[in-house]
Amino acid sequence: MKNPNSQDNPWMIALYLGGSGGLLAAYIVIGFFAGRWVMEWMDGPRYWLAIGTLTGLALGILNISLLIKKFLGAQRE
């Protein structure tokens, strides 16, 4: 009997892609709330919300790119 590799399963690939979308959304929401907290803490202008949200977006994209790099590296083996 063939031992199935989890990387060959299309459902695992779909799970990775769906999880990466949820991960990106979580980073954006966390960045928004962190920006709001900094805005209230420093009694600053509203652009802190944009800075926090964009920082969350950038960190989420970085994390997803590292996840994809790891996933594609496992595919080569």
- Kindly state whether residue 29 falls inside one of the protein's structural domains: yes
Identify the band that residue 76 occupies on the pLDDT scale cut at 50, 70 and 90. low
Look-up of token digits 């080569």? 76
Q: Is residue 47 part of a domain?
A: yes
> Per the structure, how many domains does the chain have?
1
Q: Which domain holds residue 57?
A: 20-76
* Assigned domain for 38 exists: yes
| pLDDT for position 6 | 53
Per-residue confidence (pLDDT) for residue 1, from 0 to 100: 43
Residue 9 covered by a domain? no
d(CA 25, CA 45): 24
10 within some domain: no
How far, CA to CA in Å, does 19 sit from each of 29, 51, 72? 15, 24, 16
1 assigned to some structural domain: no
Query: Does residue 5 fall inside a structural domain?
Result: no
pLDDT surpasses 70 at 71: yes
Domain-located, residue 56? yes
Which pTM was predicted? 0.75
Tell which phi-psi region holds residue 44, choosing left (phi > 0), alpha (psi between -120 and 50) or beta: beta
| Terminal-to-terminal C-alpha distance of the chain | 21
